[in-house]
Each structure stands twice: as C-alpha cells, then as structure tokens.
Amino acid sequence: MEWSEKVVLVAGGTGSFGSAFLEHLIQKKPKAIRIYSRDEYKQSVLLAKYKDKDINLSCFIGDVRDKDRLNRACENVDIIVHACALKQVQSCEYNPLETLKTNVLGSMNIIDAALDNNVEKVLAISTDKAVSPLNLYGASKMCMERLMITANAYRGTQKRTKFCCTRYGNVVASRGTIVPIWRELIRQGKSVPITNVNATRFWIGMNEANKFVMDCLEVMDNLDGGEIFVPKMPSVKVLDVYEALTDNESQFTVIGDRIGDKLHETLISKEEIRHTVDIGDKFIIYPEEPHYSYRKPKGYSCGYTDGYLSNNNEKKLSVSEIETTLEENI
C-alpha cells in the first residue's frame, strides 16, 4: 500500500487507542490524517503536540452519532479506522440507550459514510467481549462486528469499500482498565478489589495493539473484506497482575462477579474455529456465508478446537513477565 497517496480518518482519534495509534500512523507519512472526535480540548492538545511535525493533520469536532457531520468528514477519505465506542462495562450497563446510540447506530453511520464516499477500507476496533457476550458493551460490539461484515455486500459492483474488524483483549494500562484503577487505589493505601481469584484475561500492550492494527490495514489489500483479525496474544491470571503491581504488599478484597463478568475471556468461539485460519502471527476469521464474491484466505487450520480462550491459551505470562510489560506500558 502506498501510504503517501492515502487520506486516513481515525474516528475516536483522541481516545486511548486513537491517540497512541496516531504515533504509528504518522510514521507511514500518509497524504493526510483526519481526527474525528467530540473532545475539543483533547484535539487542541493533539494539534499542539504535532504542530512542528511535517504532517498534514486536521481535527474534526463531531459525534459518530451525527451522520451528516461524519459524512462531511469522510469526503475524499481512503481509509477509516473506527475506534469510537463507549467501552466501560458497568457504565454501559447503566446507560444502555447511550451505549447503543454510539456503539451500534454510530457504526451504522460509519458504514453509510464510507459507502457514500467510496472509501477504500474501513477497519473497526472490536474486543474479546464481543464473543458470546454477557454484558451490553460486548453485545453492542458483537452487533458492530456483524454490521461491518455484512456491509461488504452493500458495495455491489460500483463501490470499492472493504469492511473488516480487529478483535483483541485487554490493552495494558489503557484508560478505565484494572491497572490504572488498582495503581491509584494502591497509592491511596486502599484495598484492591478482585472479582474472582481464578479469573484470566488476554493481555496486549498498546504498542503491540497499534502495530497489529497497522499490519491488518496492509493485509486487507489481499483480502475481499468481512474478515475479523485476531492477534496471537498472551494471557494472564488476574491474581498475577495484582502480585506484579503490589508485590503482595497491598491487600485485596474479593468482591465477586459483577454484572456481565466472565471467569475467562474468549477471542474466537468454538463455532468460529471452523471458519478460522492461522497465518502465523494472527488468526483470520473469514465470513461463513458471504453474500458477495469471496476468496477464502490462505492459511493453516486453527489448533484451538474448543475455541481460543484466555485459560486454554498456549502462551501465559509469569508474574515477572507481567512486570516487564507494565514497565513498558506505563
């Protein structure tokens, strides 16, 4: 892909992922980068940070719920990275209508804007919580994935737009996750809340997540659209994360499972395994019944016959390895 000819729009570009992803995107030196988000203060900080850089960067204030504004922002855009979402699990449970407006209706607006402007690629950021979801956040992301996959059938023969998704687990130390929350409680000398001492989670650094997304944008050139990209990533025991953060010097309190909590997370369900291929550093879940011209991606069979779960993952991090990732990401 010739990045120097591409105009890229990052929807949700001032969030945890978007602002970090921008660092990687700038290195590719695209023709132009557009940030689309609601927060004018974060946009001003972003523009100030890069004002002396030789890059065509602009910021659009707008909500993904506002279809007209989004459509205007997508004029002459080649690539959209869709990272807009309400993602705090408990907040989404308490604010279900707002969650659906952003995560589902907002994604529908992304699809329409991409098709109306004949955008080349749309890559949406999903989560392991979209697999067999137990909470509204996960359910809304599952809907987003289904919308993106099916959207490939809407392009017909006149549009070039490909829609794909990335799906990965917890990003180390991203806003609202257990690491920054626990670190603040530890600083205050308070007990650390743990839902279940046997819980496991997938674990990826922000830098690795950004590189993965950049790579998926490149891989899309050789695919027909509708794929979900899943990185091969390590798992951690939640209790080991606690130990890595505290050296067992702080107390923890078992608070029990909250609404929508899982003991273990799933990146690929048992049912999805049959239409998943292993291409070395990642898995590709391809559409099971595409309603458009489609070529199955080449690769090996996925070895996780019962699904790719955080507790059956071949790669699990030790406490010392978790400490290393924390040092790299904080």
Burial class (CB in 10 A: 0-12, 13-18, 19+), 48: exposed
Question: 58-82 b/e with 16+ CB inside 10 Å = b?
Answer: ebbebbbbebebbbebbeebbbbbb
Strand 276-278 to 282-285 pairing: antiparallel
* Contact present, 310 and 235 (Cβ < 8 Å): yes
Q: Which two tokens stand for residue 59?
A: 């910021």
129 catalytic? Reply is yes
Distances (CA, A) of 16 to 19, 83, 206: 6, 9, 9
Q: Indicate which residue of 6, 87, 129, 162 is catalytic.
A: 129
Q: How far apart are CA 157 and CA 160, in angstroms?
A: 8
Determine the residue type at 83: A
* Contact present, 120 and 160 (Cβ < 8 Å): yes
Active site residues: 129
